[in-house]
């Protein structure tokens, strides 16, 4: 029998081998040995990512029945449906780590698992649907493109698929904004107002500055994360400012200016007090979003129970079906 | 009434059914019992929006007043809609929505199968595309009604109640007026009397598989052929039409 | 006691076009076979990606263990005589 000492040195050897493999750029499959901290980090990150897709359906769903044209409704519905699908890809990938969807949903409901803070802001006007698609999805894509090469293979595979499908999402939002900026004075005002409200929360989506990022070290060593928060945020700002200018929107940041020397934009300080406050639960929609999810889950219980009951009664029959 | 006017009204009815049902189905977005089902319900809504676009566009052309599909969808008032009362009924719980889907999908399966042979080429072409979608909608609704009917005591109770509540709107699906008779004579429209027994037999079989009872034929509420609806339609429209009505000069 | 679950997990394989291999896509949840097929279609073929779908209960998948990788796969690595390049063909022979 292994002594504790033997077990420890065995684990150390496995860890060394694991790190060597990840350093060499090889990916990790579900049945491969992995350190517990790696698994935990992934479960946390992937379930948060999945929950974000699902909770993110709410602010957009808020406008589905009020979309101003058949085309607009169709595109918006298709986009929200994709988000549900992406939530599923991610739940499915996270389940390979030995956590069930049921547990992930329980953790969401108890507050143990988080979702992206951005969805704690309200979608107040139709222009918000434009701003969400353009800015929020735009920010998400920058992050997700980077995650396509993450070390955990099921996560990476899900991200590749998600990035491919999301390519139209940002265009959907930008098109709405562009159309409104070409429109009436009221429409332009609505679009700029949405820009003003969504710009800063979108920048917060990349998380704290690198100097204040709590989970980063392990995530980089294990190649879960491949670019820093600030790198990704900068990338987003640099590509988005030009898009805003083209359609005549003003970025609500007086400190924003092109830095010739660095070849990128300098931008003003993000309100981290607001960021931390909303994360702690005191945002405009935290309560509403979670209560919505819990209500739908609870109201759907009898349907899932019925499906289970039917299966149990008819198991034999359904086997004979083929 | 000219043939053209009759065909306009007839196409508008079909378009309105797809439009109003798509609106109801899209209300399920982020509200389904589990995510896979959210995706499924959204698919049905998307199919219905696509169908309403094709039909309302065609209706606008037939009318000849330069009304686009969006103008027809968003700028008419309550009494100018001709969808069946059944499709405007609130979603209720999942059983109500599934029973409503079943009633409509069975009807549409037979209806659009016949419509493929219509002498109106546009309606025949729309029918061919629609039928593929309808078959999937039907399989989904039928499976669920059976699961719920033969599931738990609670699901059985809810499903039977949904059937009993919605039954009074099922008769209207088969109602015909002079629009129908004129177009049936032209080989364009479908004789709904022929579909009624097929519909009932199909429904009875599904109910039988789901341990559910088919209600006695009692009072049947109608009115949509004259644009007379239930109170629910006005609320649905005020929500759907909000932006088009509040900003009449805006393009979106 | 609540019997509520998130239903069973199924693995989804899809064929992109007739004649192609079935490729693993991910998983979905469903309580029975018919629902599994429908949910797989709605989840993994929203853009007409498939012509055919297989669904298999996740619990029925038998997977090899990473610890057995040497035993399972190394022995066939050196059977180079299974490769066409192993053989010397006479100069000038065609279509072989």
In a domain, C30, yes or no: yes
In a domain, C85, yes or no: no
Tell me the pLDDT tens digit for each residue of A132-176. 999 999 999 999 999 999 999 999 999 999 999 988 899 999 999
d(CA C59, CA A310): 20
d(CA A153, CA A28): 6
**At residue A3, does pLDDT exceed 80?**
no
Tell me the pLDDT tens digit for each residue of A15-26. 999 999 999 999
- Structure confidence at residue C1 (pLDDT): 42
Please indicate whether residue C67 or residue B149 has the higher confidence score (pLDDT): B149
Distance from CA of A87 to the nearest CA of B (A): 8
Contact B36 C28 (CB under 8 A): yes
**At residue A319, does pLDDT exceed 60?**
no
Contact A70 B73 (CB under 8 A): yes
Q: Chain C contact for A220, CB < 8 A?
A: no
Contact A70 B42 (CB under 8 A): no
Distance from CA of A41 to the nearest CA of B (A): 24
Q: pLDDT band for position C2 (50/70/90)?
A: low
Chain C partners within 8 Å of B40 (Cβ): 38-39, 42
Q: pLDDT band for position A213 (50/70/90)?
A: confident
ipTM: 0.96
% chain C with pLDDT above 90: 52
Nearest to C30 among B36, B39, B43 (CB): B36
- Which has the minimum average pLDDT: A125-139, B87-101, B132-146, C49-63? C49-63
Contact B39 C43 (CB under 8 A): yes
Q: Chain C contact for B245, CB < 8 A?
A: no
- Structure confidence at residue A321 (pLDDT): 46
d(CA C15, CA C50): 5
Q: Chain C contact for A74, CB < 8 A?
A: no
- Structure confidence at residue C48 (pLDDT): 81
Distance from CA of A179 to the nearest CA of B (A): 6
Contact B34 C28 (CB under 8 A): no
DSSP B79: G
Contact A102 C6 (CB under 8 A): yes
> B53: which residues sit within 8 A by CB, 6+ positions away?
A70, A71, A74, B69
d(CA A200, CA A246): 20
Chain B partners within 8 Å of A58 (Cβ): 30
- Structure confidence at residue A8 (pLDDT): 77
Chain B partners within 8 Å of A67 (Cβ): 243
In a domain, C92, yes or no: no
Nearest to C7 among B34, B39, B43 (CB): B34
CA-closest candidate to residue B135, choices B85, B37, B214, B202: B202
% chain A with pLDDT above 70: 97
Do the Cβ atoms of A158 and A119 come closer than 8 Å?
Answer: no
Chain B partners within 8 Å of C42 (Cβ): 36, 39-40, 43
- Structure confidence at residue A215 (pLDDT): 67
How many CA atoms lie less than 13 Å away from C75 in the CB half-sphere?
A: 3
Contact B252 A54 (CB under 8 A): no
**At residue A320, does pLDDT exceed 80?**
no
Tell me the pLDDT tens digit for each residue of B206-219. 999 999 999 998 99
Using alpha carbons only, what angle is made at residue A172 by residues A170 and A175, rounded to the nearest 5 degrees? Answer: 105
Contact A84 B35 (CB under 8 A): yes
Question: Whose structure tokens read 């996270």?
Answer: A94
Structural domains of chain C, count: 1
**Which structural domain, as residue segments, surrounds residue C43?**
8-64
CA-closest candidate to residue A126, choices A63, A81, A197, A211: A63
Which chains lie within 8 Å of chain B at 3 or more CB pairs, if any? A, C
Question: Whose structure tokens read 């904004």?
Answer: A177
d(CA B21, CA B150): 26
**At residue B201, does pLDDT exceed 70?**
yes
**At residue B187, does pLDDT exceed 80?**
yes
pTM over 0.90: yes
Tell me the pLDDT tens digit for each residue of B51-102. 999 999 999 999 999 999 999 999 999 999 999 999 999 999 999 999 999 9
Q: Chain C contact for A77, CB < 8 A?
A: no
Tokens read off for A238: 């640099």
In a domain, C56, yes or no: yes
Contact A64 B26 (CB under 8 A): yes
Q: pLDDT band for position C3 (50/70/90)?
A: low
**At residue C95, does pLDDT exceed 90?**
no
Nearest to B39 among C6, C35, C42 (CB): C42
Contact C34 B43 (CB under 8 A): no
* CATH code of residue C34: 3.10.20.520
Q: pLDDT band for position C49 (50/70/90)?
A: confident
Contact A69 B70 (CB under 8 A): yes
DSSP H or E stretch at residue C54: strand C52-57
Residues in a beta bridge with A259: A264
In a domain, C71, yes or no: no
User: Scanning every residue of chain C, which has its alpha carbon at the shortest distance from the alpha carbon of B141?
Assistant: C35
Read off the pLDDT of each residue in A250-275 and give the average, rounded to a whole number: 97
Which chains lie within 8 Å of chain A at 3 or more CB pairs, if any? B, C
In a domain, C73, yes or no: no
Chain C partners within 8 Å of A309 (Cβ): 3
Q: Residue C19: left (phi > 0), alpha (psi -120 to 50), or beta? A: left
DSSP H or E stretch at residue C24: strand C22-30
CATH number of this structure's domain B3-214+222-245: 1.20.1260.10
Distance from CA of A32 to the nearest CA of B (A): 29
Contact A89 C26 (CB under 8 A): yes
CA-closest candidate to residue C41, choices C30, C31, C50: C50
In a domain, C19, yes or no: yes
Contact C39 B139 (CB under 8 A): no
d(CA C25, CA A92): 10
> A321: which residues sit within 8 A by CB, 6+ positions away?
C33
In a domain, C24, yes or no: yes
d(CA B163, CA B148): 12
């Amino acid at each position: 029998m292994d002594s504790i000492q033997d077990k420890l040195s065995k684990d150390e050897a496995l860890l060394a081998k694991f790190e060597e493999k990840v350093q060499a750029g090889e990916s990790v499959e579900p049945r491969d040995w992995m350190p517990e901290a790696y698994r935990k980090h992934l479960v946390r990150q992937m379930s948060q990512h999945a929950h974000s897709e699902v909770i993110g359906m709410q602010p957009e769903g808020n406008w589905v029945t009020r979309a101003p044209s058949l085309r607009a409704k169709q595109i918006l519905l298709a986009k929200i449906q994709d988000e549900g699908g992406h939530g599923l890809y991610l739940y499915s990938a996270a389940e390979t780590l030995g956590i069930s969807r049921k547990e992930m949903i329980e953790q969401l409901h108890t507050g143990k698992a988080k979702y992206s803070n951005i969805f704690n802001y309200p979608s107040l006007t139709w222009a918000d649907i434009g701003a969400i698609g353009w800015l929020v999805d735009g920010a998400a894509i920058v992050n997700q493109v980077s995650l396509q090469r993450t070390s955990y293979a099921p996560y990476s595979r899900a991200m590749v698929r998600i990035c491919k499908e999301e390519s139209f999402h940002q265009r959907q939002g930008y098109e709405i904004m562009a159309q409104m900026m070409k429109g009436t004075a009221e429409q332009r005002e609505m679009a700029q107002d949405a820009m003003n409200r969504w710009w800063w929360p979108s920048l917060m989506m990349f998380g704290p500055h690198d100097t204040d990022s709590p989970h980063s070290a392990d995530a980089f060593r294990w190649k879960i994360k491949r670019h820093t928060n600030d790198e990704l945020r900068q990338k987003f700002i640099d590509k988005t400012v030009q898009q805003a200018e083209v359609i005549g929107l003003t970025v609500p940041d007086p400190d924003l200016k092109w830095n010739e020397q660095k070849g990128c934009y300098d931008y003003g300080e993000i309100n981290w007090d607001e960021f931390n406050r909303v994360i702690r639960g005191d945002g405009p929609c935290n309560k509403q979003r979670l209560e919505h999810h819990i209500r739908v889950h609870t109201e759907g219980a009898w349907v899932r129970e019925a499906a289970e009951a039917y299966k149990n009664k008819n198991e034999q029959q359904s086997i004979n079906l083929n | 009434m000219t043939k053209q006017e009759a065909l306009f009204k007839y196409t508008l009815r079909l378009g309105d059914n797809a439009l109003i049902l798509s609106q109801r189905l899209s209300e399920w977005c982020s509200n389904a019992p589990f995510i896979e089902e959210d995706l499924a319900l959204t698919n049905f809504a998307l199919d219905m929006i696509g169908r309403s676009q094709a039909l309302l566009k065609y209706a606008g052309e037939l009318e000849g007043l330069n009304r686009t599909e969006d103008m027809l969808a968003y700028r008419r008032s309550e009494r100018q809609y001709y969808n069946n009362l059944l499709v405007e009924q609130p979603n209720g719980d999942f059983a109500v929505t599934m029973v409503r889907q079943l009633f409509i999908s069975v009807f549409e399966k037979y209806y659009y199968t016949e419509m493929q042979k219509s002498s109106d080429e546009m309606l025949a072409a729309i029918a061919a595309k629609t039928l593929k979608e309808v078959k999937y909608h039907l399989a989904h609704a039928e499976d669920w009604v059976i699961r719920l009917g033969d599931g738990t005591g609670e699901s059985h109770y809810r499903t039977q109640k949904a059937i009993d509540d919605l039954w009074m709107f099922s008769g209207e699906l088969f109602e015909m007026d002079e629009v129908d008779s004129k177009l049936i004579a032209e080989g364009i429209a479908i004789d709904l009397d022929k579909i009624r027994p097929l519909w009932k037999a199909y429904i009875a079989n599904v109910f039988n598989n789901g341990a559910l009872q088919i209600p006695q034929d009692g009072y049947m509420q109608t009115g949509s052929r004259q644009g007379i609806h239930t109170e629910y339609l006005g609320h649905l429209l005020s929500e759907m039409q909000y932006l088009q009505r509040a900003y009449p000069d805006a393009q979106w | 006691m609540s019997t509520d679950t998130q239903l069973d997990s199924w693995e989804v394989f899809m064929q992109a076009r007739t004649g192609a291999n079935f490729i693993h896509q991910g998983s979905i949840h469903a309580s029975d076979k018919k629902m599994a097929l429908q949910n797989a279609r709605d989840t993994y073929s929203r853009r007409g990606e498939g012509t055919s779908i297989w669904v298999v209960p996740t619990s029925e998948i038998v997977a090899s263990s990473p610890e057995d990788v040497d035993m399972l796969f190394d022995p066939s690595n050196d059977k180079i005589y299974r490769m066409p390049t192993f053989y010397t063909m006479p100069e000038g022979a065609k279509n072989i």
